[in-house]
Amino acid sequence: MTGRAVDPTTEAVAAGEAGASQPAPDDYEVSLQPLSQMQLAWRRFRRHKLALVGSVLFGLMVLLAIFGPIIWPYDPLDIERVTKPGGNPPSPGEIFGTDSLGRSVFELVANGARLSVAIGVVTMLIATTTGIVVGALAGYFGGFVDSSLMRFVDLMLAIPFLFIVLVAARFFGSGDPLVLMLIFGVLSWPGLARLVRALFLSLREQEYVMAARAVGVGHLRIAFRHMLPNALGPIIVSATLLVANAIVLEAFVSFLNFGIRSSDISWGTALARSQGTLIQGNWWWPFFPGMAIAVTVIGINFMGDGIRDALDPRARA
Amino acid sequence: MEAGAATAPGPSAPPRGAPPENILLDVRDLRTYFHLADGLVKAVDGVSFSIARGETLGVVGESGCGKSVTAMTIMRLLETPPAEVVSGEIWLNDQELLGIPETEMRTVRGNDVAMIFQEPMSSLNPVFSIGDQISEAVRVHLKLSKHDAWDKAIDSLQQVGINSPERRVKQYPHEMSGGMRQRVMIAMALSCNPKLIIADEPTTALDVTIQAQILELLRTVQQKTGAALMLITHDLGVVAEMVQDVMVMYAGRVVEQGTVEEVLLQPKHPYTEGLLASIPSKGRRGQRLNVIKGTVANPFNLPKGCNFAPRCPFRFEPCPDHDPRVDDPGGPPAACWLWKPAPGYSVAPRVEQGARTASGGEAQIP
C-alpha cells in the first residue's frame, strides 16, 4: 500500500492512459480490448523464438526456390578450369566449390531448391488432404465406415514403405517430378489419417459437437467446419513433418537413381551426382546439397511447432 | 426390438395418431435402451408425458435416472448403437419424430425444438466467435444471408440481456464467463424461434446468483416468445419457481406426475417425498441431513417389481415382485402400490386411509 502511495503521478498517468486507450466497459464483466484471432496468433507466434528462426530458414529456401534459378541459372556448359582431380574446393569465387568437370555446386543447389521444395509442399498437400478426409470420415462416423477405412489404412501401412516407393517410382516414375509427387503423396497419408481419426474420436464427444447437432447442423459440416479447426494444431505439425519427409525422401529416391531423371536438378539428384566422388575427398559436392536439405527440414519443423502453438485459441496470449 | 418386446411387460396400447391441437409435445411409452458390453441398460423405460403449448414441464430426479436420455431421445441425438429406441412415439404437433428420416429431423432440431445444455463452458466451440455460432443456426434454418444472420445474432444477444452485443458478437467463448456463455446458449436456442426449448440442467454449472438470473431470463424469453419449456433439473427449488407441471423420474421411469402444487405439497410417491425431505434447510441446523437410504438401483440389474422398493420405507408385500408403473395418463397419480390396488389386493392402502401424501401424514416441506 505504501509503495502505491509514494508515486501518485505515475499512477495517475497510467490511469489516464488506460482510460484513453480503452473505453470504460459498459457491463459488469471484466473485458479486455478484443484482439482479432489472427493478431493473437501472430503475437504467440512471435514469442516462439525457434519458430521465428525456422520460418526465416524455410522462407529463405522458398525464396531460393523461386528466384534462385533466375539469378543463378545453371548452365552445364559454364565450366571453370579445374585445378584438382575431384573438382575445385570452395573458394571466394566459387563458394560451394565445383564438380570434377568444373561446374558450380552453388548453382546446382540454387536450382535444385525449386524441385525439392515443390516436391515437399505438393506431397504434403496431397497427403494432408487425403489423410484429413479419410481420418475425419472414419473418426466422425465410426462403425462400419471407420472399420473399413482403417483396415485399408492398416493395409497401406503393412506394405514396406521404401520398397513400395521405389517400386512405384520405377514403374510409374519415368523421372517425371509430378508423378513422383503423386506417388509420395498417395503413399504418405495413412499415418496422418490415423492421427486425424484419433483426434476426431475424442472431439466427437465434445459438448459443442452435440450442441451443433442440436442446432440442426449437418454431418459433413460438423466434421469439417466444427471439428476440423479444433484438430488443426496436431495436423499442422504433422503436415510440416510431411514436407520435410518428402524432401528427404526425394533425395533418397533420386540418390538411388529411382527418382527424377538425372538431367532435372533437385537436391536429390545433386547428391546422386556426388556418388562415388566422396572417396576422392571432395566433401563439398555432397555437403552443400545435404546442408540445404537439413536446413530446410529443420526450419520447417521449428515453424510447424510455432504455428501449432499460435493457432491454439485456448493458449494464453 | 425383440429384446425390448420380450423383457418389457406389454402396456396397454396408447391411442394412435396425432395429439389434440393444444398439445405441443406428446411422448408415449418411450423406451430407450443402451446395449453396452456389460449388459442392457434400460435408461428410459416406458415414459409418457405431454407438454401443452407455452407450458413448462419440470423433469426431476437423481443423476442417472434418465432425464437427459429422455431429452436426447426427443432430439434424436443419441448414437445408435449403443442406444436403441425400442418403442414409443414422440409427437411434435402432428409430426412423429421417431419415424422421420434424419435429414428431416435436422430441420426440426434447432428450428422447432432447441436445446440448452448443462455445461456452458464446453457447449460453445472454442474456435468460432459467438456471432458465427449463433448465425450458423439462423443460416441453416431461416436461410438468411451472412449479413442478415449476423444482425440476427446481435438481436438475439440483445434479447438475452447481453450489453453491447455488437462488441460481444465478435468475441470468442473463452473471453466470456460461465453466465455469459449460458446466455449465449440461450440466444442460440432462441434464434430460430423454436416452439419447444429443452433445457438440460441449464443452471447446474453456474453459481447461485447467476442461476437466478438465467432462470429469470428463461422465464421472460419464454413468455415473450410463447415457447414451451421442458426444464430438466435436480433442483426442486428451481421446479417450484419455474414450472406448472412436474414429472418425477426414478431409474428410467416416471414415478409421479402432476401439477407443481400437487407434487411438491402432496407428494404421493415415497421417492418424491424422500427428495423433498432431503432438501437442507436453515431451520434444521445442527441435525443430520435427511437422505434417501441406499443408492440408485443398479441399471444393469433392476429389481423385478418396483425399482424403488429396496430403498422404500413403506415397502410391503407386493412391491418386490410387481411393477407398479403408470400405464395410462388418467390413472393413479403415482407409480406406487400405496396408491393403486396391487395384484391380489382389493384396495390401495393410502387410498383406503384417505391420505394425501406418501407417508400418510402431512407433507414434510422443509
All domains of chain A in start order, with CATH: 52-66+97-310 (1.10.3720.10)
Q: How many angstroms away from the CA of B62 is the closest CA of chain A?
A: 21
Task: Check if B162 contacts A (Cβ < 8 Å).
Answer: yes
Task: Check if A29 contacts B (Cβ < 8 Å).
Answer: yes
Percent of chain A whose pLDDT exceeds 70: 81
| Averaged pLDDT score across all residues of chain B | 79
Query: How many Å apart are CA B363 and CA B273, to the nearest integer?
Result: 8
Nearest to A29 among B125, B127, B180 (CB): B180
The answer to whether residue A247 scores a pLDDT higher than 90 is: no
pLDDT at position A198 is 92
The answer to whether residue A7 scores a pLDDT higher than 60 is: no
Task: Check if B142 contacts A (Cβ < 8 Å).
Answer: no
pLDDT band at A128 (very low <50, low <70, confident <90, very high): very high
Q: How many CB pairs under 8 A join A and B?
A: 84
Q: Which residue of B has its CA nearest to A215?
A: B110
Region of poorest pLDDT, from A25-29, A258-262, B129-133: A25-29
User: Are the Cβ atoms of B185 and A230 closer than 8 angstroms?
Assistant: no
pLDDT at position B215 is 86
Task: Check if B127 contacts A (Cβ < 8 Å).
Answer: yes
| Averaged pLDDT score across all residues of chain A | 79
pLDDT at position B233 is 87
pLDDT at position B45 is 84
Task: Check if A215 contacts B (Cβ < 8 Å).
Answer: yes
> Residue B166 corresponds to which cell in the numbers above?
455488437
The answer to whether residue A22 scores a pLDDT higher than 70 is: no
pLDDT at position B9 is 40
The position carrying cell 429396496 is B310
User: Are the Cβ atoms of A214 and B167 closer than 8 angstroms?
Assistant: no
A188's enclosing H/E stretch is helix A177-203
Nearest to A215 among B110, B129, B164 (CB): B110
Percent of chain B whose pLDDT exceeds 90: 0
Listed residue (A259, A283, A282, A281) closest to A272, CA to CA: A259
Mutate to test the interface with A, among B127, B135, B172, B209 (most CBs of A within 10 A): B127
First-to-last alpha carbon distance for chain B, in angstroms, is 45
> Residue A111 corresponds to which cell in the numbers above?
536450382
Report B:194-213 residues touching A (Cβ under 8 A).
none
Q: What would the 3-class secondary structure string for A46-79 be?
A: HHCHHHHHHHHHHHHHHHHHHHHHHHCCCCCCCC
Listed residue (A298, A288, A315) closest to A113, CA to CA: A288
pLDDT band at B16 (very low <50, low <70, confident <90, very high): low
Query: How many Å apart are CA B6 and CA B15, to the nearest integer?
Result: 22
pLDDT at position B257 is 84
Residue B114 burial (CB < 10 Å; 0-12/13-18/19+)?
buried
User: Are the Cβ atoms of A29 and B177 closer than 8 angstroms?
Assistant: yes
The answer to whether residue B131 scores a pLDDT higher than 60 is: yes
Model confidence over B139-184: pLDDT tens digits?
A: 888 888 888 888 888 888 888 888 888 888 888 888 888 888 888 8
Task: Check if B101 contacts A (Cβ < 8 Å).
Answer: no
Query: Which DSSP symbol is given to B12?
Result: P
A288-309: average pLDDT: 87
User: Are the Cβ atoms of A216 and B111 closer than 8 angstroms?
Assistant: yes
pLDDT band at B12 (very low <50, low <70, confident <90, very high): very low
Q: Return the top range by mean pLDDT from A40-44, A205-209, B20-24.
A: A205-209
Task: Check if B158 contacts A (Cβ < 8 Å).
Answer: no
The answer to whether residue B81 scores a pLDDT higher than 70 is: yes
Edge-to-edge strand order for the sheet containing B39-52? Answer: B39-52, B23-36, B83-92, B95-96
Residues B292 and B309: beta-carbon distance below 8 Å: no
Nearest to B140 among A208, A216, A229 (CB): A216
Nearest to A207 among B109, B122, B162 (CB): B122
Helix H segments across chain B?
2-7, 67-75, 102-108, 130-142, 146-159, 165-168, 178-190, 208-225, 236-242, 260-265, 270-277, 349-353
> Which residues in chain A touch residue B82, judged by CB atoms under 8 angstroms apart?
none
Task: Check if B143 contacts A (Cβ < 8 Å).
Answer: no
Q: The dihedral of CA A77, A82, A87, A90: what is its sign?
A: negative
Model confidence over A151-197: pLDDT tens digits?
A: 999 998 898 888 888 888 888 767 778 888 888 898 889 999 999 99
pLDDT at position B354 is 67
Task: Check if A226 contacts B (Cβ < 8 Å).
Answer: yes
Region of poorest pLDDT, from A15-19, A301-305, B44-48, B106-110: A15-19
A98's enclosing H/E stretch is none
pLDDT band at A86 (very low <50, low <70, confident <90, very high): low
pLDDT band at B307 (very low <50, low <70, confident <90, very high): confident
Q: How many angstroms away from the CA of A143 is the closest CA of chain B?
A: 9
pLDDT at position B362 is 58
> Which residues in chain A touch residue B115, judged by CB atoms under 8 angstroms apart?
211, 214
User: Are the Cβ atoms of A37 and B172 closer than 8 angstroms?
Assistant: yes
pLDDT at position A279 is 67
> Which residues in chain A touch residue B196, judged by CB atoms under 8 angstroms apart?
none
Task: Check if B114 contacts A (Cβ < 8 Å).
Answer: yes
User: Are the Cβ atoms of B77 and A210 closer than 8 angstroms?
Assistant: yes
User: Are the Cβ atoms of A210 and B123 closer than 8 angstroms?
Assistant: yes
pLDDT at position B330 is 57
Three-state SS at B130: helix
Q: How many angstroms away from the CA of B140 is the closest CA of chain A?
A: 7
User: Are the Cβ atoms of B172 and A313 closer than 8 angstroms?
Assistant: yes
Q: How many angstroms away from the CA of B198 is the closest CA of chain A?
A: 10
* Backbone dihedral angles phi then psi of residue A216, each to the nearest 5 degrees: 100, 20
A35-57: average pLDDT: 81
Residues B66 and B252: beta-carbon distance below 8 Å: yes
User: Are the Cβ atoms of A34 and B164 closer than 8 angstroms?
Assistant: no
User: Are the Cβ atoms of A211 and B115 closer than 8 angstroms?
Assistant: yes
The answer to whether residue B1 scores a pLDDT higher than 60 is: no
> Residue B23 corresponds to which cell in the numbers above?
398439445
> Which residues in chain B touch residue A142, judged by CB atoms under 8 angstroms apart?
79
Model confidence over A132-142: pLDDT tens digits?
A: 999 999 999 88
> Which residues in chain A touch residue B180, judged by CB atoms under 8 angstroms apart?
29
Query: How many Å apart are CA B299 and CA B41, to the nearest integer?
Result: 6
Nearest to A207 among B110, B123, B188 (CB): B123
Residues B197 and B227: beta-carbon distance below 8 Å: yes
Percent of chain B whose pLDDT exceeds 70: 87
Query: How many Å apart are CA B58 and CA B246, to the nearest integer?
Result: 5
User: Are the Cβ atoms of B136 and A215 closer than 8 angstroms?
Assistant: yes
The answer to whether residue A314 scores a pLDDT higher than 70 is: no
> Residue B328 corresponds to which cell in the numbers above?
395410462
pLDDT at position A76 is 67
A195-210: average pLDDT: 90
The ipTM estimated for the assembled molecules is 0.77
The answer to whether residue B4 scores a pLDDT higher than 90 is: no
The answer to whether residue A15 scores a pLDDT higher than 70 is: no
> Residue A50 corresponds to which cell in the numbers above?
525457434
The answer to whether residue B324 scores a pLDDT higher than 60 is: yes
Listed residue (A246, A278, A251) closest to A265, CA to CA: A251
Whole-model pTM: value is: 0.76
Q: Contacts for A71-77 with beta carbons within 8 Å, 24 or more apart?
A: A71/A110, A72/A104, A72/A106, A72/A107, A72/A110, A72/A111, A73/A107, A73/A111, A74/A103, A74/A104, A74/A107, A74/A108, A74/A110, A74/A111, A74/A265, A75/A107, A76/A103
User: Are the Cβ atoms of A211 and B117 closer than 8 angstroms?
Assistant: yes
Q: How many angstroms away from the CA of A200 is the closest CA of chain B?
A: 14
The answer to whether residue A104 scores a pLDDT higher than 60 is: yes
Model confidence over B226-264: pLDDT tens digits?
A: 888 899 988 888 888 888 888 888 888 888 888 888 888
The answer to whether residue A36 scores a pLDDT higher than 70 is: no
> Which residues in chain B touch residue A312, judged by CB atoms under 8 angstroms apart?
none
